[in-house]
Amino acid sequence: MTDTTSLFSPLSFAGHELGNRAVLAPMTRTSAQDNGQVHHDMVDYYRDFARGQFSLLITEGLYTDEAFSQGYANQPGLANQTQQVSWRCVVDAVHQQEGRIIAQLMHAGAQTQHNRFKDEVVAPSECRASGEMLSFYGGSGLFPLAREISEQEIHEAIAGFATSARLAKEAGFDGIELHGANGYLIHQFISNRFNQRDDAWGGDALARLAFPLAVIRSVREAVGEDFPIGMRLSQGTVTEPGLQWQGGPDAARQRLAYLMESGLDFLHLTSGDAQAPAFPEAEDEADRQLSLTALAAQVREAQHANVTLIANGGTDSQEKADAVLAQADLVAVGRSALANHDWPKRLKRGTPLTSFDFAMLSPLATLANEEDWRIANDKPANCEGRC
């Protein structure tokens, strides 16, 4: 009998045949050129994961316009033609290794730490993101106070996502992922914490989906029917990983149902632990056990929706990957992939994995820092028979 759910089983995904279920999770490395173009080290970096047999790669979050979307210094962009051209080298390198690559499109909103186009920061409502800026992305101290984004700027932000998606398609990317997780702008519109608007972009939980749904519509119009579009979702933010969506499992089901009906090809659910219950204090005993992915799988089944589910969080072994794959179609790996660019290949061969070490990302989460760590610790990224 063919095994259809384990890590090394193939999957047909939005017109592509993936050789296995291992996906590289999106990870910001703040290693682009100052103008947001790809640095040549990034070509080798992404190629390495495809060579290491990740069948699908999701890029780090790319800013989408030359206005308010950039969040970090040396964050790569996909907001103009020169940035687009620079991404072609990455896309071609991944395709040469028979990997597939999706561009993650992100608008930082209130979580902006550095933006070379604007001095101001915008969010759905005036607010300050909680906690302190992330030092490994070069920030320090409190986040800036974000002002309420205007109606016109909302339309410009939506247009930015659409333009960026078109640039991604023309650059040869195999799809795009809208970053609706971790507290960035799309998440902010969804969240009652950041969105207190009482116009067409805010209100109850359903009304707060207006922005993500408008982005999805606009992006779809820009790229056509055949180009995969997905969205990443989380409950927590970068500085408050424990935050929960308001309204418990029923509201979550409703939100997931609307998003599944919106024409998305995939949903990417992320949390600290993909298998952990999303609402451990839910009234209903059965609901208390459900992870965000399990909830999404329930909704998908109930709606007969044709949406691929990617799950992420805490997967650092084949056993965990296979457990996650009982509920999702694909498993995205973050930190363990950073430590092992050939994570799938090592598991297949039975080669021991290198443990993730936060020192790889400190003081900065750059590729140069990772390289220094590898040399100092004699830990090759891709072992090629050397380990």
| Using rule CB under 6 A, residue 312 touches ligand FMN | yes
Closest separation in Å from C-beta 136 to ligand FMN: 7
How many CB atoms lie under 10 A from the CB of residue 364?
A: 18
Distance in angstroms (rounded) separating the CA atoms of residues 137 and 16: 34
> Which 114-173 positions form the footprint of ligand FMN (CB under 6 A)?
none
User: 90 vs 365, which CB is nearer to ligand FMN?
Assistant: 365
Size of the site for ligand FMN (CB under 6 A): 22
How many CB atoms lie under 10 A from the CB of residue 362?
A: 12
Characterise 15 by phi-psi region: left (phi > 0), alpha (psi -120 to 50), beta (else): left
CA angle 59, 351, 268 (to 5 degrees): 30
Q: Is 184 noted as a catalytic residue in this protein?
A: yes
380 preceded by cis ω (within 30°)? Answer: no
Residues 261-280 as x/- pattern, contact with ligand FMN by CB under 6 A: ---------x----------
| Using rule CB under 6 A, residue 291 touches ligand FMN | no
Distance in angstroms (rounded) separating the CA atoms of residues 211 and 204: 13
To 10 degrees, what angle do helices 248-261 and 292-303 make? 50
| Using rule CB under 6 A, residue 313 touches ligand FMN | yes
| Using rule CB under 6 A, residue 52 touches ligand FMN | no
Closest separation in Å from C-beta 102 to ligand FMN: 12
Among 131, 172, 203, 314, binds ligand FMN (CB under 6 A): 314
> Which 19-38 positions form the footprint of ligand FMN (CB under 6 A)?
25-28
| Using rule CB under 6 A, residue 361 touches ligand FMN | yes
Distance in angstroms (rounded) separating the CA atoms of residues 230 and 56: 13
Give the CA distances from residue 144 to residues 194, 237, 263, in Å, rounded to whole numbers and listed in that order.
14, 16, 35
Closest separation in Å from C-beta 304 to ligand FMN: 28
Residues 317-336 as x/- pattern, contact with ligand FMN by CB under 6 A: ----------------xxxx
Closest separation in Å from C-beta 2 to ligand FMN: 27
Distance in angstroms (rounded) separating the CA atoms of residues 348 and 360: 25
Among 14, 23, 42, 61, binds ligand FMN (CB under 6 A): 61
Among 166, 179, 320, 341, binds ligand FMN (CB under 6 A): 179
Burial class (CB in 10 A: 0-12, 13-18, 19+), 286: exposed
Contacting range for ligand FMN; rule: CB under 6 A; set: 174-182, 253-261, 275-283, 288-296: 174-182
Burial class (CB in 10 A: 0-12, 13-18, 19+), 94: buried
Distance in angstroms (rounded) separating the CA atoms of residues 65 and 163: 8
Q: Which residues of this chain interact with ligand FMN, rule CB under 6 A?
A: 25-28, 60-61, 104, 179, 181-182, 232, 270, 312-315, 333-336, 361, 365
Q: Which residues are catalytic?
A: 184
